[in-house]
Amino acid sequence: MIDKEALIVNIESCRLRVRSCLSMANTCDEVMIVGASKTMPSEVVDYINDHQLLSVLGENKVSELVDKYKSSHDIKWHFIGNLQSNKVKQIIGKVNLIHSVDRNSLADEINKQAKKIGITANILVQVNMGKEKSKSGFFIEELDRAITEISKLSNVHVSGVMAVMPIADDDTLISLYKELGTEYNKLKVKHDLQYLSAGMTNDFELAIIYAGSNIVRIGRAIFGERSIYGKNE
């Protein structure tokens, strides 16, 4: 059962919070909200689509994205989770943007599969800001080289950077977001980048204000706790 009223209220609340951040920061003019719809049933996606509540949804798992994808939907799909190379072919042509390109070999496979169907795949290069062994992605000092190398691929377009932040207090996150914003602004000019995808439910306001994030990936603040649909996050 969809709590339609809560969904509408939550989405509008997130929009208001984003607008408030934009009024405080001069780093970007517009922010794309990607609804992180993992574990949400298809009826929720259909309701969002039918009522034009969000234009972009993101999935963490290939199987869920494929199940929910329908060519008749006006919704644009982004892939925002860890992507295995052997599953790339299942989402190529279905997604507008792959956020989580965390290694050169994955970029190579995306290029291979995109070439097969005659398209250019839009991707973001993932940076591991906390240099955590448990998380994937390039370190910030590796970003320039990674973007340079991946940009040489014929059927891949590097549209920007996606950041994965560690679990940390606000002061630490602010420092990391400032560092990310400084580096992104340099790379944006050098590589003609368009997007910085950073910030989720717990920290998207910090990402916008201190890094200039123009894509935020929001799950809980929109959809509530996953457990109300019988599944845990």
Task: Report the CATH number at residue 220.
Answer: 3.20.20.10
Q: Would you place residue 71 in the very low, low, confident or very high pLDDT band (cuts 50, 70, 90)?
A: low
Which residue would you say has higher pLDDT here, 25 or 41? 41
Asked if residue 142 is part of any domain, the answer here is: yes
Asked if residue 123 is part of any domain, the answer here is: yes
Total number of domains constituting the chain: 1
Q: Is the pLDDT of residue 229 over 60?
A: no
Domain extent at residue 117: 4-225
pTM above threshold 0.85: yes
Instruction: Find tokens 């190379």 and name the residue.
Output: 85
Contact 209, 21 (CB under 8 A): yes
| Secondary structure of residue 178 in the 3-state scheme | helix
The set of long-range contacts for 202-207, using a CB threshold of 8 Å and a minimum separation of 24, is 203/165, 203/173, 204/17, 204/18, 205/17, 205/20, 205/21, 206/170, 206/173, 206/174, 206/177, 207/163, 207/177
Return mean pLDDT, the chain: 92
Asked if residue 231 is part of any domain, the answer here is: no
Closest C-alpha among 165, 179, 163 to residue 124? 163
- Find the mean pLDDT for residues 162-176: 95
- Find the mean pLDDT for residues 94-110: 97
Q: Rounded to the nearest 5°, which phi and psi values hold at 153?
A: -70, 140
Q: Is the pLDDT of residue 67 over 50?
A: yes
Asked if residue 233 is part of any domain, the answer here is: no
DSSP string, 148-167: HHHTTSTTEEEEEEEEEPPS
pLDDT at 72: 67
Report the Cα 47 to chain-centroid distance in Å. 21
Asked if residue 232 is part of any domain, the answer here is: no
Asked if residue 150 is part of any domain, the answer here is: yes
Asked if residue 230 is part of any domain, the answer here is: no
Q: Would you place residue 24 in the very low, low, confident or very high pLDDT band (cuts 50, 70, 90)?
A: confident
Structure tokens at 132: 């955590």
Asked if residue 115 is part of any domain, the answer here is: yes
pLDDT at 226: 60
pLDDT at 114: 98
